[in-house]
Structure 1
C-alpha cells in the first residue's frame, strides 16, 4: 500500500511534487511535446488520489488527495524578455508553491546549525535530525 493511499484512508491530506518516473504514474504523462505552457492533464485513482501534470517550462508532476483537479487560478511568470505573463494553473500548483516556501526556509535554517554526526544506525540519524530541528526552533 502506498503512502498516499494510507494518508487518504487516515484522512491526512497531502499535496506535493513527484518525479516523472515514479512507480504508479500513468505512462501517457511522459509526452511533453503535445502540451504548451499552462496546459495540464490529470488522472484520478479509485481512492480519489489525483496525479496531475502541469506544463511550466517543463512538465511538473503532482500528487494530491484533497484538491479539485478542475479548480483553476492564474500565476504570473516571467518570459525570456523579462515581461510578466499571466498563465492559468490548477489550484493544486498555487497551493504547493505557497506552502513549499516555508518548508524550504525551515530546511535552510536547519542546514545552518546542523551537527555533523554520521552514523550507520538509522535511528541515531533520526535522533540527530530532531536535535537539529530543536536547535533551530529554540532560536525562533
Structure 2
C-alpha cells in the first residue's frame, strides 16, 4: 500500500515538474530580455530626439530668376500645428528655404503657397515646391512684370 502511494506521489511530482518546466520555457520565450528592454528604451529616446526631422514632412521652396534678385517674396506654409510664413521685399536668387512639418496630427500640412515677382531687369522668374524631395508644384513666368505663383493644396480623393 505504501509503495502505491509513493508511486502516485512521485508521479504527481513528476507531472508538476514537467508542467512548471514547460510554463517556464513558454514564458521565457515570449518575454523580453533586459537587453531588449534597454534597446527599446534607447530607440524611443532616439525617436523623440529626431522626431523633428524624421517624423516630419520636409517642405522646400525654391525661387530662381535670370538675374541675381527677385522681389515681393511670399511663402505660406499652412500647417495644422505650426503654420509659418515668410515675406521679403527683395531676395537674392536662387532663394531656397526649408521647413519641417511634424506628422503628429491628422493631415498635418494643408497647403503651401509661394509667390515672387521678377525684377525690372529680369526676363523670367520661377518657383518650385518640394515635399520630401518630390516636386509637387512649379511655375515659370516670362516678360515684364512677371510673377511666379506656386501652390500645393491637400486634396482628399483623386486629383
TM-score, normalization: structure 1? 0.23
TM-score, normalization: structure 2? 0.21
Q: Relative to total residues, which structure has the larger strand share, 1 or 2?
A: 2
Please identify the structure whose Cα radius of gyration is greater.
Answer: 2
